[in-house]
Amino acid sequence: MKILLTGFTPFGGDSVNPSWEAVRRLPDQLEDISIYKENIVTAFGAAAEAVEKAIGKYNPDAVICTGLSNGRSLIGVEKAAINYRYASIPDNLGAAPRETPVCPDGPAAYFATIPVEKIAEAMRAEGIPAVRVTAAHAGR
């Protein structure tokens, strides 16, 4: 099995982004799972293009994108991503879209196909603070 994991570059004045720091520390192989890692630019539009390019490069069986939610003191495993942008600060290229869809022709939300509650439970069992998050939107 091949899994693509993504994290983001620092933004908003931060010198590091914990999403990438976590991803880059994972092994490249875990039993029969090959793990491919990509550090994604924190920029609306360019980020999606970078993920699509990585999918084409690795042809993974699964894609797991990680990100940062400032102020959250635990890991949120998201069940749905809202097709909506509302940036409270500009991205690394200066864009700050407000009240716009991520994919104009897409559905209102995209749902995870992984067992998010079981993943959050397994993380908590290992002492990692985690919770299932119902939905999130693109933007800080």
**pLDDT score, position 66:** 94
User: What gap in Å lies between CA 5 and CA 96, rounded to an integer?
Assistant: 25
**pLDDT score, position 137:** 58
Count Cβ atoms below 10 Å from residue 17 Cβ, excluding itself: 21
Q: What is the mean pLDDT of residues 30-36?
A: 97
**pLDDT score, position 7:** 97
Please, is 19 exposed, middle or buried when counting C-beta atoms within 10 Å of its C-beta (0-12, 13-18, 19+)? buried
pLDDT of 79-129, one tens digit each? 998 898 888 889 999 999 998 998 899 999 999 998 999 999 999 999 999
**pLDDT score, position 140:** 40
Mean of the per-residue pLDDT values for the chain? 92
Q: Model-level pTM?
A: 0.86
